[in-house]
C-alpha cells in the first residue's frame, strides 16, 4: 500500500487542473487555493480541446506543468449515457490518452487520474474492493464511459511500469455539490431530482415522480471531500493500484428523494415511474485502503444537500443547462 510515502508539493509548483470549470475540477481548484498553492493553471475546452492530440502536446511542452489533476471528462446520468455510449467511449478515451501521454512525455512529477465507480462489474460483491476490477460484466447502460475509465486506469498503471511515472488513479463514488450539472435530462440523479423537485414545489404540484423503482442503492460523496482526498493522495499515496474514494454509506433513490424533498421544502407525495431504467442495483465501494492511509470524509449528506441547494438557488440564472 506504500503507506510510508510522503511527498511535499511546493506551494509555487505549476499545477494543471483539467476540467477546472466542472464539478470536480472547480472543487479541486478551490481546495488547492485554500491550501496555499499559487500557480494553478486551467484551460476551458474552447481554449484547449483535449481530444486534439497535437494541441495537448503543444500545451504541455509550452506550459510544462509540475503536477496534473486529470478531472476533465464527458459525463452524464443514466439516460444520457445509455443514449450515447459511443460518444462517451470515444471522447473520454481520446482526452485521457492525449493527456496521460503528454504528461509522461513532459515528465510531470505527479498526476492524479480521476475515474468513476462505474468501472466495476454490475454484480460485484458489495462493498466493492479495488481488486474487483475486470472480474465481471459491466452495467450495459454506461459501458462506454466505464470502458474509457478502465482504460485510463490501465494506462496509468502501464506508464508507471514502463516509465516509472509517479501517476495514481483515484475512483470516487457518486459525486454532488456546488457546480453540479442541473440539466434535465442529462444530469446525474441527485441534481436532476433536486431541480425537478424545486420546480414541482414552485408549481404547487401535489406529487413528484421518481424515475425508476427508487430501490437501487447509491453512495454519495460531496465533491469538496473528493478534492480534499485528491490533495491528500498526491501527498501520501504512490501505489500501483487505484484507490476508492467514498463516504462508506449508501441509501436508496427513494430515500435520497425524501431527503431532497426536506431540503427543498416539497411537501407533496413521491411516486415511482417503474417504466424508467434503474441502472445497476447497488454500488457501494470499500474505501478501506484510503481510510488506512489516514483520510476520511467530513461532510455528511444532509449538510451537503443543504449547501448544494443553496448553491443552486444562487446560480439559477447561470448554471449549465
Tell which residue, 137, 143, 41, 165, has the closest CA to residue 85. 143
309 catalytic residue (yes or no): no
Cα–Cα dist 161/157, whole Å = 6
Name 289's Cβ contacts closer than 8 Å, sequence gap at least 6: 1, 130, 243, 244
Cα–Cα dist 200/222, whole Å = 25
Residue 202 phi, psi (nearest 5): -60, -35
Cα–Cα dist 315/224, whole Å = 18
Name 310's Cβ contacts closer than 8 Å, sequence gap at least 6: none
Beta bridge partners of 110: 67
Give the cell for residue 105: 512525455
64 and 14 Cβ atoms separated by less than 8 Å: yes
Residue among 16, 67, 120, 145 flagged as catalytic: 145
ω into residue 185 within 30 of 0, thus cis? yes
Please classify residue 27 by burial: count the beta carbons closer than 10 Å to its beta carbon, then call 0-12 exposed, 13-18 middle and 19+ buried: buried
309 and 263 Cβ atoms separated by less than 8 Å: yes
Q: Which residues are catalytic?
A: 145
Amino acid at each position: 500500500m506504500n503507506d510510508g510515502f510522503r511527498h511535499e508539493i511546493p506551494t509555487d509548483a505549476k499545477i494543471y487542473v483539467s476540467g477546472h470549470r466542472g464539478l470536480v475540477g472547480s472543487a479541486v481548484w478551490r481546495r488547492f487555493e485554500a491550501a496555499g498553492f499559487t500557480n494553478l493553471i486551467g484551460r476551458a475546452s474552447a481554449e484547449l480541446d483535449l481530444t486534439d492530440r497535437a494541441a495537448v502536446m503543444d500545451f504541455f511542452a509550452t506550459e510544462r506543468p509540475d503536477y496534473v489533476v486529470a478531472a476533465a471528462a464527458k459525463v452524464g446520468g443514466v439516460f444520457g449515457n445509455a443514449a450515447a455510449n459511443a460518444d462517451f467511449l470515444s471522447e473520454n478515451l481520446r482526452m485521457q490518452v492525449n493527456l496521460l501521454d503528454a504528461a509522461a512525455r513532459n515528465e510531470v512529477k505527479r498526476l492524479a487520474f480521476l475515474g468513476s465507480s462505474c468501472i466495476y462489474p454490475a454484480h460485484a460483491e458489495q462493498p466493492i474492493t479495488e481488486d474487483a476490477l475486470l472480474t465481471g460484466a459491466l452495467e450495459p447502460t454506461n459501458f462506454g464511459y466505464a470502458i474509457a475509465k478502465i482504460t485510463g486506469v490501465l494506462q496509468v498503471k502501464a506508464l508507471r511500469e514502463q516509465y516509472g511515472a509517479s501517476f495514481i488513479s483515484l475512483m470516487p463514488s457518486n459525486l454532488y455539490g456546488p457546480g453540479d450539472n442541473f440539466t434535465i435530462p442529462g444530469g446525474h440523479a441527485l441534481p436532476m431530482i433536486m431541480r425537478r423537485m424545486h420546480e414541482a414545489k414552485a408549481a404547487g404540484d401535489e406529487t413528484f415522480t421518481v424515475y425508476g423503482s427508487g430501490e437501487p442503492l447509491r453512495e454519495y460523496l460531496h465533491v469538496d471531500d473528493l478534492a480534499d482526498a485528491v490533495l491528500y493522495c498526491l501527498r501520501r499515496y504512490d501505489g500501483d493500484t487505484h484507490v476508492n474514494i467514498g463516504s462508506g454509506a449508501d441509501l436508496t433513490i427513494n430515500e435520497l428523494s425524501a431527503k431532497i424533498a426536506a431540503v427543498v421544502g416539497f411537501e407533496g407525495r413521491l411516486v415511482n415511474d417503474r417504466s424508467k431504467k434503474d441502472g445497476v442495483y447497488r454500488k457501494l465501494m470499500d474505501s478501506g485502503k484510503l481510510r488506512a492511509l489516514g483520510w476520511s470524509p467530513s461532510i455528511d449528506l444532509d449538510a451537503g444537500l443543504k449547501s448544494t441547494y443553496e448553491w443552486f438557488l444562487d446560480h439559477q440564472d447561470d448554471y449549465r443547462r
